[in-house]
Every structure is written in structure tokens, then in C-alpha cells.
């Protein structure tokens, strides 16, 4: 299975820099296939209701470029904000996946809610009993900042829930 997810969130004004680490007792190929199985994300990832690859290009050097559309919601306590996003995704040598939001719609806030979103998964050799270390970094820039303590807590809570879901799915696929 996995160690507890370690999450750190730093806030600077309207920008959040998040970092999470998860050690997994699984092979790298299983971890990679789990985090890049976009069609399956709605079945195990909290907050994602639909996900589809609309474009995929294979490039030299074991690289891929994709355009991915996701629909879902960002939850915090009793609050839920709908979210539709189009991501430009780059896969590098089956160890790094970088996603940048190029278009988003946040329901009532429309396209004005987020200035920037970038997420990056990296797979590396694990430590101790873990075979793989999954490292995730995200930058989230909001147009309207949430109250001081709420934003960091919400980002931390959602990121931990998502990586714990990845850990459960990796364990299921490894069984």
C-alpha cells in the first residue's frame, strides 16, 4: 500500500504553491498507467466527473502531447464549485506528466476565477519498502483570493484526497 501523503501548501497573495509526496509499493509502470489513464479518472479520482483525451500526438524521445478535457468540482466543507477545464498535457519518458490549464469555466465565476493552473507528476525510485516515489507539484493562481486560512486548507485537503485516491487505485491495480 502507501505511506500517508505528505502535503505542503505555501500561499503568496492569490497564488498557491502545493507539493505532495507519496511512497508506493508498486512498480513504476503501474503508477504511470494509473495517473495517465484519463478515461478512468472519474472512477477513482474525487472531484472528476468526466475526463477525455481530445487530442494525442506522439513525439520523438518517448514524449507525448495531449489535450484533455475534464469536468468536475472543487469541494471544501459544504462548498462545491463546478469546474470545466481544458488541459495541455505533456508526457515525458513515462516518468513526468505536466498539465497546464489553457481554458476553464468555473460555473458562476466563468473564466474569471483562475489565472493559472499547472500540475506536475514525477515518478522516481522509492525509499525503504516503497518501490516508487510519486511527487506532485501544483501552482494555482486565483483571481479573487479566498480568506487567509481557508485557501491553503482547501488546497491541502483536496490534494491529499486526490493522492490518497491514486494510492488506492495503484494498490488495486497491483493486486
Give 74-113 pLDDT, tens digit per residue.
665 556 677 888 999 999 999 999 999 998 876 655 555 6
What pLDDT sits at residue 3? 55
Q: Are 85 and 20 in contact (CB under 8 A)?
A: no
Domain ranges of the chain: 6-174
At 91, is the secondary structure helix, strand, or coil?
Answer: strand
pTM, rounded to two decimals: 0.87
Mind listing the pLDDT tens digit for each residue in 142-151?
776 666 667 7
Residues in Cβ contact with 47 at an 8 Å cutoff, skipping those fewer than 6 apart: 72, 73, 74, 75, 83, 158, 161, 162
Label residue 120 by pLDDT band (50, 70, 90): very high
Mind listing the pLDDT tens digit for each residue in 30-46?
999 999 999 999 999 99
Class of domain 6-174: alpha beta
Q: Are 73 and 79 in contact (CB under 8 A)?
A: no
Residues in Cβ contact with 152 at an 8 Å cutoff, skipping those fewer than 6 apart: 9, 10, 11, 16
Q: Across the strands, what pairs with 74? A: 81
Label residue 158 by pLDDT band (50, 70, 90): confident
Amino acid at each position: 500500500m502507501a505511506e500517508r501523503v505528505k502535503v505542503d501548501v505555501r500561499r503568496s497573495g492569490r497564488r498557491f504553491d502545493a507539493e505532495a509526496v507519496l511512497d508506493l509499493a508498486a512498480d513504476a509502470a503501474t503508477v504511470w498507467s494509473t495517473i495517465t489513464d484519463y478515461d478512468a479518472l472519474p472512477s477513482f479520482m474525487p472531484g472528476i466527473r468526466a475526463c477525455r483525451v481530445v487530442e494525442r500526438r506522439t513525439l520523438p524521445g518517448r514524449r507525448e502531447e495531449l489535450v484533455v478535457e475534464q469536468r468536475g468540482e472543487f469541494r471544501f466543507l459544504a462548498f462545491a464549485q463546478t469546474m470545466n477545464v481544458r488541459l495541455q498535457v505533456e508526457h515525458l519518458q513515462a516518468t513526468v506528466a505536466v498539465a497546464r490549464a489553457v481554458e476553464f469555466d468555473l460555473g458562476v465565476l466563468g473564466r474569471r476565477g483562475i489565472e493559472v493552473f499547472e500540475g506536475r507528476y514525477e515518478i522516481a525510485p522509492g525509499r525503504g519498502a516503497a518501490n516508487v516515489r510519486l511527487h506532485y507539484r501544483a501552482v494555482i493562481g486565483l483571481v479573487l483570493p479566498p480568506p487567509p486560512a481557508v485557501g491553503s486548507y482547501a488546497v491541502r485537503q483536496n490534494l491529499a484526497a486526490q493522492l490518497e485516491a491514486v494510492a488506492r487505485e495503484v494498490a488495486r491495480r497491483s493486486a
